[in-house]
Amino acid sequence: MKYFGEPIEIKNIVVRCDGDGGILGHPAVFLNLTSKDEIVCPYCSRYFAREGKEKPPKKCKK
Predicted confidence (pLDDT) per residue in 22-33, tens digit: 788 899 999 998
Query: What does each of the 62 residues of the chain score in pLDDT, given as a tens digit?
Result: 556 678 899 999 999 999 887 788 899 999 998 888 889 999 988 999 988 765 555 555 55
- Domain range spanning residue 45? 4-50
Asked whether residue 34 is assigned to any structural domain, the reply reads yes
Residue pair 3/40 in contact (Cβ under 8 Å)? The answer is yes
Asked whether residue 58 is assigned to any structural domain, the reply reads no
pLDDT at site 60: 53
Number of domains in the chain: 1
